């Protein structure tokens, strides 16, 4: 809230004051106007200084906000770069994994029993053959099962040999996916940092607005004090002008009185001179009046 001046301390002058107050009263009034004007000018100066300080702080906060804005934008550019790299790597990894799946399908490696499982089944059947007493027919059937599974195992191993690049392709796909994950992690870290700078930018702008509002209030206070000071100065000038008019009037009255006295003295001297010429005896005072008038 603006800090208004104490108007009860202000000095006012009316046309009636100028016309009716005595010279002494007007001199006193001029002194009061001058003192209040100087007081108000000092107040205006202090308020202007406070306003300028606040405006400087506003500029500092705006500069701080701009720095955060630039840092945020810089980080967002880096975020976009890492996003682009991540997306490119993910696309590349997807292509590689598709190749892995296609190769698996071509080799039919996902169909039927796995190599390890076949090996275990063969071992179980061979163990059964060695440890159990079987009829000729059961043993023959068991041997046929073992042979069938060995054939499947050999077929699987041959396909694995043919697909020797499969593991390498899978490893490459996983490496590319891992690299994409690193870029994704970087995206997250940089985005968080960019958000912090964004929040700090918003806060700095908010503080700048608050300080600017204070500066605007202080400017209003400055204008109020300066206008009051200017009004007191104008009134001071009016009173001074009236005093000069009174001084001039006094001087004219004094000059008129002097001229009247001088004219009366000349007329009196002329009368005395006429008496002197007519032979009348003059006393010392009459002679002095003639001498003063230049008649002797």
Q: Is residue 110 part of a domain?
A: yes
In a domain, 159, yes or no: yes
The total of other beta-carbon atoms located within 10 Å of residue 204's CB is 20
Contact 10, 178 (CB under 8 A): no
**What is the mean predicted confidence (pLDDT) over 112-136?**
81
Residue 284, pLDDT score: 78
DSSP code, position 8 = G
Q: Is residue 276 one of the residues assigned to a domain?
A: no
Weakest mean pLDDT among 5-19, 51-65, 189-203 = 5-19
Residues whose CB falls within 8 Å of the CB of residue 104, separated by 6 or more in sequence, listed in order: 110, 163, 166
Q: Is 281 within a domain?
A: no
Phi, psi of 287 (to 5 degrees): -65, -40
| Residue 2 pLDDT greater than 70, yes or no | no
Of 84-93, 239-248, 261-270, the range with the lowest mean pLDDT is 261-270
d(CA 101, CA 108): 10
CA 80 to the chain's CA centroid: 27
How high is the pLDDT of residue 30?
96
Number of compact structural domains in the chain = 1
Question: For position 296, what pLDDT does the model report?
Answer: 61
> What percent of the chain lies above the pLDDT cut of 70?
90
Q: Note whether residue 20 is domain-resident.
A: no
Give which of 221, 199, 156 is closest to 1, Cα–Cα: 221
- Domain span at residue 240 reads 34-270
Q: What's 158's domain CATH number? A: 1.10.287
Q: pLDDT band for position 294 (50/70/90)?
A: low
Over 70: is that where the pLDDT of 139 sits? yes
Whether 290 maps to a domain, the answer reads no
Mean pLDDT across 63-86: 97
Alpha-carbon distance 198 to 75, whole Å?
10
Per-residue tokens: 244: 């000069």
User: What mean pLDDT is reported for the chain?
Assistant: 88
Indicate whether 112 pLDDT > 60.
Answer: no
Comparing 5-9, 156-160, 235-239, 264-268, which segment has the lowest mean pLDDT? 156-160
The overall pTM is greater than 0.85 = no
Percent of the chain residues past pLDDT 90, beyond the cut: 57
CA 162/CA 166 separation, integer angstroms: 9
Residue at 195 is within a domain: yes
Q: Are 43 and 231 in contact (CB under 8 A)?
A: no
pLDDT at 56: 97
pLDDT band at residue 142 using 50, 70 and 90 as cut-offs: confident
For residues 97-101, average pLDDT: 86
Asked if the model's pLDDT at residue 270 lies above 70, the reply is: yes
- DSSP for 147-216 reads HHHHHHHHHHHHHHHHTTTHHHHHHHHHHHHHHHHHHHHHHHHHHHHHHHHHHHHHHHHHHHHHHHHHHH
What pLDDT does residue 252 have? 86
d(Cα 164, Cα 145) in Å, to the nearest integer?
A: 29
Residue 249 lies in a domain: yes
The mean pLDDT of 8-32, rounded to a whole number, is 94
């Amino acid at each position: 809230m603006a800090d208004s001046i104490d108007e009860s301390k202000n000095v006012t002058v009316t046309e009636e004051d100028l016309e009716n107050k005595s010279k002494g009263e007007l001199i006193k009034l001029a002194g009061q106007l001058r003192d209040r004007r100087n007081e108000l000018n000092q107040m205006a100066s202090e308020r202007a200084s406070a306003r300028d300080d606040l405006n400087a702080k506003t500029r500092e906060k705006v500069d701080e906000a701009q720095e955060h804005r630039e840092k945020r934008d810089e980080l967002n550019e880096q975020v976009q770069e890492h996003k682009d790299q991540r997306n490119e790597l993910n696309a590349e990894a997807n292509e590689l994994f598709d190749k892995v799946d296609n190769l698996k399908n071509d080799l039919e490696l996902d169909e039927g029993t796995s190599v390890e499982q076949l090996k275990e089944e063969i071992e179980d059947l061979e163990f059964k053959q060695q440890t159990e007493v079987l009829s000729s027919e059961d043993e023959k059937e068991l041997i046929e099962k073992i042979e069938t599974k060995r054939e499947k195992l050999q077929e699987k191993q041959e396909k694995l040999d043919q697909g020797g690049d499969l593991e390498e392709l899978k490893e490459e796909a996983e490496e590319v996916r891992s690299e994409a994950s690193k870029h994704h992690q970087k995206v997250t870290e940089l985005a968080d940092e960019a958000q912090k700078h964004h929040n700090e930018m918003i806060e700095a702008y908010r503080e700048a607005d608050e300080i600017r509002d204070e500066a605007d209030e202080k400017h209003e206070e400055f204008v109020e004090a300066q206008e009051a000071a200017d009004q007191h100065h104008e009134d001071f000038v009016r009173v001074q002008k009236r005093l000069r008019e009174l001084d001039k009037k006094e001087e004219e009255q004094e000059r008129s009185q002097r001229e009247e006295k001088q004219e009366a003295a000349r007329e009196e001297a002329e009368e005395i001179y006429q008496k002197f010429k007519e032979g009348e005896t003059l006393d010392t005072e009459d002679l002095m009046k003639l001498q003063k008038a230049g008649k002797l």
